């Protein structure tokens, strides 16, 4: 399983930087080709729909959210909260980032993000994490094996 940060979804859906969009497209194509399940913390639902509602009309945001959320597995348990608390305490990471790191930790999944601060926090905590913007080739090699 792979945990993918919201930053990558934003890069794929909204082409602010064509290079970042192409990299995000490459990741999602790789995930689809290899049929790798996506795992997200429950809070992803809220973060994603919030991001969409800032950029799209309400109806479009809801339709897109329903489509994207239907493709994922979610984790949301008291253990996730406890792990996120410990991660924030140990690394100083932002609350939302701690939930993504906790999901990866609890499910022994890799985390992929375009958020440098989140990647640094995950590394401090010993999570297998990749900064997609710079490490797509490493991710491809890792998933090939």
Q: What is the pLDDT of residues 71-122, one digit of tens each?
A: 899 998 888 999 999 999 999 999 999 999 999 999 999 999 999 999 999 9
> What's the mean pLDDT in 22-37?
95
Tell how far CA 100 is from the center of its chain: 7
Measuring CA to CA, which residue among 63, 73, 97, 69 is closest to residue 83? 97
Q: Which domains are assigned to the chain?
A: 2-144 (3.40.50.1010)
How confident is the model over 41-70, as pLDDT tens digits? 999 999 999 999 999 999 999 999 999 999
Q: What is the pTM of this model?
A: 0.93
Contacts 24+ apart (CB under 8 A), 12-20: 13/52, 13/64, 14/55, 20/114, 20/133
């Amino acid at each position: 399983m792979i945990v993918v940060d919201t930053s990558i979804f934003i890069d794929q859906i909204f082409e602010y930087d064509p290079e970042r969009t192409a990299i995000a497209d490459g990741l999602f194509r790789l995930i689809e080709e290899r049929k790798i399940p996506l795992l997200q913390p429950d809070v992803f639902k809220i973060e994603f729909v919030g991001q969409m509602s800032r950029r799209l009309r309400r109806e479009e945001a809801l339709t897109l959210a329903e489509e994207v959320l239907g493709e994922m597995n979610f984790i949301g348990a008291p253990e996730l909260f406890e792990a996120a608390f410990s991660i924030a305490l140990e690394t100083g990471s932002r609350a939302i980032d701690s939930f993504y790191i906790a999901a990866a930790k609890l499910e022994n999944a890799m985390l992929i993000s375009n958020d440098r601060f989140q990647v640094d926090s995950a590394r401090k905590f010993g999570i297998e994490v990749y900064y997609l913007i710079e490490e797509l080739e490493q991710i491809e090699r890792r998933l090939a094996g």
